[in-house]
Structure 1
Amino acid sequence: MLNEPDLERAAFDLRLALARIVRRLRQAHEPGDLTLSEVSVLSRLDRDGPATPGALAGGERVRPQAMGNTLAALEQRGLVARMPDPEDGRRVSMSATEAGRQLLLDRRSASTRRVTHALAQGFSPDEQRRLIEVIPLLDRLADSL
């Protein structure tokens, strides 16, 4: 196991590297495009199906008020829709609209093409395998934060 200073340095370097990747991928999108929070919520609704604002706030680890703002922005753009919660008609449930799903598909395709090109052009087959092997660890790290 690494000592505390080594872990802190690794955590700092990892955070910087991930921030650079996200920033570079975001730079490819149009100004006025979705925020990272909006993309995350829309992706969650697309992947997991309808959810209440409270459940979304818990899943994204944000305050309900912040989730309300994010959902309002997505709803205003026609990317999510509200409907009565099937389990409790007094509550509301949010779902991705067809326009929201299509926007995600377009974004994913463009981002995936950029990453695929970078991996193919800038990394050896061994480096590509090593990067692929670390993905589950990064997912686990994201879940533990």
Structure 2
Amino acid sequence: MSDEELPGQLRLAVGRLSRRLRQMVAAQQDHDGISFIETAVLTRLERDGPSSPGALAGSERVTSQAIAGVVTQLEGRGLVRRSPDPTDGRRVIVAITDTGRSALNDRQELIVRRLQTALSTEFTPAERKRLAAAVPLLERLAGSL
């Protein structure tokens, strides 16, 4: 593959992989009721810690109104909790609960198991090694866009 063909082929392959992962998440949503955006919010709270709704909206590139609805849904199911910001009583801080952490971990484990099965049955050890070597490059590419 030439340098000129690489961007287009990479876009197609990553796009296809992304769609398949979203389909897996959607199938899991039918099972556990947690939407893609809800999963993204839970993941961000798990990784980065408590946050304001405005910061969550910015990081997920959605409106504050959209995040407000997501947080309300998550809070109603006990997956997050809101509390007053200790430095500014007018603001609210959102944190993931133990129940939310457990739901997120269950979902992620299921998807990782499915990926592991595909990798172990469809790819040789040498191919898995090549895929592993590509991950840091894909991360670097994502960061540069």
TM-score bucket (shorter structure): 0.7 to 0.9
Map residues 118-137 of structure 1 onto 2, 5 A cutoff: 118-137=118-137
1:25-45 Cα deviation digits (max 9, x unpaired): 542554462111100100111
Map residues 104-115 of structure 1 onto 2, 5 A cutoff: 104-115=104-115
Give unmatched runs, 5+ long, in structure 1: none
Structure 1: distance between partners of 2:43 and 2:56: 11
CA change 1:120–1:20 in 2 (3 A) is same
CA RMSD of aligned residues (A): 2.2
1:142 CA drift (Å) = 4.2
* Aligned residue pair count: 144
Map residues 56-67 of structure 1 onto 2, 5 A cutoff: 56-67=56-67
Give the alignment's TM-score, normalised by structure 2: 0.85
Map residues 1-145 of structure 1 onto 2, 5 A cutoff: 2-3=3-4, 7-28=7-28, 30-31=30-31, 33-144=33-144
Give unmatched runs, 5+ long, in structure 2: none
CA change 1:68–1:142 in 2 (3 A) is farther
CA change 1:140–1:75 in 2 (3 A) is farther
Give the alignment's TM-score, normalised by structure 1: 0.85
1:2 CA drift (Å) = 2.9
